[in-house]
Amino acid sequence: MLYRKLIAASLRSQMQYKMNFITSAATTGMIMVLDFVILSAILHRFNDVAGWNIYEVGMLYGISSASVSLYRLFAPEVNDFEKYVVHGEFDQMLIRPVSPLLLLLTRNLDLSRIGGIVQGVAVLVLSLAGLAREGADLLWLIVFSPIAIFSGGVIYFSMALSSAALSFWTHQMRDILTFTIYAPANASNYPISLYPGWLKWLFFTALPIAYMNYLPMLALLGKGGGWYYPLLAPVAAATALFLALTFWKIGIRHYHSTGS
Amino acid sequence: MVYWRIIRKSYRRNLQYRLSHLINNVASSIFGLVFIAIWMGVLRGKAVHGPYDAETMACYIAICQSVLWVTTFMSPGLNVQVGVRSGAVSLDMIKPVHYLWYTLSQEFGRLLYNACYRSLPIGLLLGLAVGFSFPSDPLAYLLFLLSLLLAAYVGMLLFYLVGISSFWTTEVRWLHLILLSLVFGFGGQMIPVDLMPGVLGQLAPFLPFAAMIYYPVMNWLELAPVYSIGVQLLWAVILTVVALAVTKQARRKLEIQGG
């Protein structure tokens, strides 16, 4: 398969710098751990946030940070797409016999994000252990976690791809990403019910992060959601991906080279 | 004075980005709103803890988000590593101005810009969301300003030290990220440092990271302990000495390499 070949080539070139990979992955993981430690410190003191205890928030947090890291691992060039439009590098991709999106995805892997995935999974495991001590039923939580992480990764990817498509018109993307990736990634670490109405509304529609962890966890942690809530995660991910791909194609048709 | 001219020039250079920054401020405010929402969720229906009732905490976070742009969101390594990599640093070092003050002036111009086009709009937006809180005592404004300047100064020196480490290493990116997460973790951006549990809560107020965020915010809220400025001043002095010494070493290293 073409994807495998191209990705293998980019991996081989990165593995020339093994030490760099190890230190960068370790630092990325450590930084994210510190963030969670501070959150634990807050919840240690105040017990719960809007009725969610540390282990329950940990489930949200673990899924969200593993998902966003999964997206950052596989699609660093989508996250960094602005440079392609601004410097006109995108022109070269259009004349290749492979689709531009496949080229973007195979050009690079950001291996340092593996640290973030490890951190997210570690938070999940700790939270599951804590929930087990409280006597919760773990079966469905364990079954659902990988589905959630994968769906979340797809949702983040879709939001990023839409932002990249938007940059065909706006010629800039970094400020958009703060809206579409960084702020949602931060917000989805915690229960969505905390936020003011308009923000909540955004997280259920245009930036659909509520479906990857919050809604499913409502049901799985017995906080009063419908039994089908967990199923919404893959459904929302597929819908978001479809819309993003459509928008991306429209964007490419609209693309005018900067001609530099 | 020459440093003042560098500051003004750097301020004016940054003005070019103001439109995109003004839009970005809305996104940055969302971060603030998320933190405020978390704290509201944490404190809802609980006994008030020390001075931190829900209202004070909302103001604390709002002012934090505003102060961050002057004391924390600086150029990584103050861009020293960029000059080291390109070799331009050798020219900067033979300028008749001291390299440390030259670099700090450059950054300070940008921070002044940030104060006008980042901190003020964000403070305004978040203030509209959670309500404004102004010091009642005119003296508090003076203390806040002093504390803010010291915070920016301490921050600049820490960032400078990261940048100048590039004389000996190839990559400062990770050191920068470590510094940033220490500042975010122990500076008081997510939780007032005195609320941290155990030893951490006793130690954190005396680290340089608290000097960058926690103390200026507390001074604005008129909740700062009397020694707050003293802690900041102490770190300012210590870090100045260290930065001067390291700059001297870096200079020598440059001479050995032959520029």
Q: Is the pLDDT confidence value at A181 over 80? A: yes
CA-to-CA distance for B131 and A48, rounded, in angstroms? 25
Residue A172's domain spans which residues?
2-8+15-254
Structure tokens at A194: 């905390």
Once rounded to an integer, what is the mean pLDDT over residues A42-49?
A: 85
B127–chain A Cβ distance below 8 A for any pair? no
Q: Which of A33, A175, A176, A201 to mutate to test the interface with B (most CBs of B within 10 A)?
A: A175
Shortest CA distance from B45: residue in chain A: A50
Give the CA distances from residue B109 to residues A68, A217, B74, B183, in Å, rounded to whole numbers and listed in that order.
Answer: 35, 47, 11, 22
Q: Under a CB-based contact definition with an 8 Å cutoff, are residues A149 and A234 in contact?
A: no
Into how many domains does chain A fold? Answer: 1
Q: Under a CB-based contact definition with an 8 Å cutoff, are residues B62 and B126 in contact?
A: yes
Of B24, B41, B178, the CB nearest to A49: B41
ipTM of the complex: 0.82
Q: Is the pLDDT confidence value at B54 over 90? A: no
> Count of CB atoms within 10 A of residue B201's CB?
16
Q: Which of B181, B190, B203 to mutate to test the interface with A (most CBs of A within 10 A)?
A: B181
Question: A30-34, A171-175, A239-243, B62-66: lowest mean pLDDT where?
Answer: A30-34
Of A34, A42, A196, the CB nearest to B181: A34
Angle between the N-to-C axes of helices B99-114 and B54-71, in degrees from 0 to 180, rounded to the nearest 10:
130
CA-to-CA distance for A102 and A98, rounded, in angstroms? 7
Q: Under a CB-based contact definition with an 8 Å cutoff, are residues A162 and A180 in contact?
A: yes
Mean residue pLDDT of chain A comes to 89
Q: Where are the alpha helices (DSSP H) in A47-94?
A: 54-74, 76-79, 82-86, 90-94
The residue type found at B6 is I
B190–chain A Cβ distance below 8 A for any pair? yes
State whether residue B73 is helix, strand or coil.
Answer: coil
Segment B124-163, tens digit of pLDDT: 999 998 888 898 889 999 999 999 999 999 999 999 999 9
Q: Under a CB-based contact definition with an 8 Å cutoff, are residues B224 and B192 in contact?
A: no
Shortest CA distance from B172: residue in chain A: A24
> Which pLDDT belongs to residue B171?
80
Distance from CA of B197 to the nearest CA of A (A): 6
> Count of CB atoms within 10 A of residue A108's CB?
18
Q: Answer yes or no: is A23 within a domain.
A: yes
B34–chain A Cβ distance below 8 A for any pair? yes
Of B27, B34, B181, the CB nearest to A175: B27
Once rounded to an integer, what is the mean pLDDT over residues B23-32?
A: 86
Q: Measuring CA to CA, which residue among B111, B107, B122, B112 is closest to residue B23?
A: B122
Structure tokens at A258: 């900067």
To which H or E segment does residue B103 belong? helix B99-114
Give the CA distances from residue B98 to residues B18, B82, B156, B186, B238, in Å, rounded to whole numbers and listed in that order.
Answer: 30, 18, 16, 32, 18
HSE (side-chain half, CA atoms, 13 Å) at B170: 3
Q: Measuring CA to CA, which residue among A58, A107, A55, A84 is closest to residue A173?
A: A84
Q: Answer yes or no: is A259 within a domain.
A: no
Q: Answer yes or no: is A201 within a domain.
A: yes
Q: Answer yes or no: is A260 within a domain.
A: no
Q: Inter-chain contact A183–B34, Cβ cutoff 8 Å?
A: yes
> Which pLDDT belongs to residue A260?
47
Q: Answer yes or no: is A123 within a domain.
A: yes
Structure tokens at A87: 């410097």
Q: Measuring CA to CA, which residue among B89, B104, B86 is closest to residue B159?
A: B104
Judging contacts by C-beta atoms under 8 Å, the chain A residues touching residue B33 are 195-196, 199
CA-to-CA distance for A158 and A180, rounded, in angstroms? 10
Question: A42-51, A115-124, A236-245: lowest mean pLDDT where?
Answer: A42-51
Q: Taking CB atoms and an 8 Å cut-off, how many pairs form between chains A and B?
A: 90
Mean residue pLDDT of chain B comes to 90
> Which pLDDT belongs to residue B258?
56
State whether residue B52 is helix, strand or coil.
Answer: strand
Which pTM was predicted?
0.85
Q: Answer yes or no: is A44 within a domain.
A: yes
Distance from CA of A95 to the nearest CA of B (A): 32
Segment B215-230, tens digit of pLDDT: 999 999 999 998 999 9
All structural domains of chain B with their residue ranges: 2-257
Q: Under a CB-based contact definition with an 8 Å cutoff, are residues A70 and A117 in contact?
A: yes
